[in-house]
Amino acid sequence: MQHGRSCGECAKFLHHNKSMQDSSEVARLQAALCFSHLRWNFVFQRPQHLLTRFAKVLPVYFWEEPTYQERATAELQVQRGLDEVTVLTPLLPHGLSTSEIDATQRKLLDTFIQQYSLSRFLTWYYTPMALSFTEHLLPDAIVYDCMDELSAFQGAPPELIQREQKLFAKADVVFAGGASLYESKRSQHGNVHLFPSSIDRKHFGAARRTTTDPEDQADIPHPRVGFFGVLDERLDIELLRSVAAAQPGWHFVLIGPVVKIRQEDLPRAANLHYLGPKQYTELPQYLAKWDVAMLPFARNASTRFISPTKTPEYLAAGKPVVSTPIRDVVKPYGERGMVRIASTAEEFIIAVQASLEPVDGRWLAKVDEYLSSTSWDKTFGEMTAAIDAVLSNRLQPAAAGFAKQTRSGTHV
Crossing angle (nearest 10°) for helices 237-246 and 345-355? 60
Decide: 405 and 412 in contact? Cβ < 8 Å: yes
pLDDT string in tens for the chain (412-residue length):
333 344 344 444 444 455 555 578 999 999 999 999 999 999 999 999 999 999 999 999 999 999 999 999 999 999 987 689 999 999 999 999 999 999 999 999 999 999 999 999 999 999 999 999 999 999 999 999 999 888 878 777 888 999 999 999 999 999 999 999 999 999 999 999 999 989 999 999 999 998 899 999 999 999 999 999 999 999 999 999 999 999 999 999 999 999 989 999 999 999 999 999 999 999 999 999 999 999 999 999 899 999 999 999 999 999 999 999 999 999 999 999 999 999 999 999 999 999 999 999 999 999 999 999 999 999 999 999 999 999 999 866 544 443 334 333 333 2
Q: Which helix (H) or strand (E) holds 180?
A: helix 179-185
Domain ranges for the chain, please list them: 7-198+375-403, 201-371
Query: CB within 8 A of 318, min separation 6: which ones?
Result: 205, 207, 208, 359, 364, 367
CB 390 within 8 A of CB 335: no
CB 84 within 8 A of CB 55: yes
Is residue 223 reached through a cis peptide bond, with omega within 30 degrees of 0 on the bond before it? yes
Residue 161: count other Cβ atoms within 10 Å of its Cβ.
14
Q: What is the pLDDT at residue 152?
A: 78
| Domain at 7-198+375-403, CATH homologous superfamily | Glycogen Phosphorylase B; (3.40.50.2000)
pTM exceeding 0.75: yes
pLDDT value for 17? 52
Radius of gyration of the chain (CA): 23
Q: How far apart are CA 63 and CA 137, in angstroms?
A: 14
Q: If residue 392 lies in a helix (H) or strand (E), which one and from where to where? A: helix 376-407
DSSP state for residue 129 in the 8-state scheme: G
CATH class of 201-371: alpha beta
Going through 162-260 in order, the beta strands assigned E by DSSP cover 173-176, 192-194, 224-228, 251-255
Can you give the pLDDT at residue 13?
45
- The confidence score (pLDDT) of residue 225 equals 98
